[in-house]
Amino acid sequence: MPALCIKDTSVVANRQQCKLVPTEDAKAAQKVPRSSLSVPQAFMEEKTALQEAKRRCRQYSAQPSEVQYLGQLVLTFGQYSNKTFKWLLENDVSYVKYLVDKHMSEVRNPA
C-alpha cells in the first residue's frame, strides 16, 4: 500500500486530508547516483518491454491480470529509473501525482 499520512487525526474520518510521503526505501533510492543505474535493455525497447513485464509477473502469478503485469514495467527515466511502477506506487505516490500532473499539463499545452 502507498504511504499516506493523515495530517490531522482529530478531524472526522470522512473529512481527513492525507499528505503523500515517500517511504524510507524511496528516500534511499533518491540518493543513488543516476549514473550508476542501468535499465535492462528489454525495457528500453517498446517492442519487448511488455513481454518482459509479463515474464517477470509470471514468476509471482500463473495467471497475471493486465494491471499486475503493467505494474512490472520499469521506469526508464527520472529519479526512480530502473524501479517498477508497482514499486513506485508502493513507495512514492507523490512522484506518481507529479508525473500525472506533468503529463496532463503537456497534453493541454503541447508546446
> Which of 29-33, 34-38, 41-45 is predicted with the least confidence, judged by mean pLDDT?
34-38
Is the pLDDT confidence value at 54 over 70? Answer: yes
7 and 19 Cβ atoms separated by less than 8 Å = yes
Q: What is the pTM of this model?
A: 0.71
Rounded to an integer, the average pLDDT of 70-80 is 88
pLDDT of residue 58: 84
Rounded to an integer, the average pLDDT of 56-70 is 82
> Which one has a higher pLDDT value, 36 or 67?
67
Can you tell me the distance from the alpha carbon of 61 to that of 69, in angstroms, rounded to the nearest whole number?
A: 10
Most distant CA atoms of the chain, gap in Å: 51
Chain centroid to Cα 21, Å, comes to: 13
Q: Which residues contact 68 (CB under 8 A, 6 or more apart)?
A: 57, 60, 61
Q: Any idea where the domains of the chain sit in the sequence? A: 4-108
Q: Cell 474520518 sits at which residue?
A: 13
Q: If pLDDT is split at 50, 70 and 90, which confidence band does 3 have?
A: low
90 and 1 Cβ atoms separated by less than 8 Å = yes
Residue type at 44?
Answer: M
Is the pLDDT confidence value at 8 over 70? Answer: yes
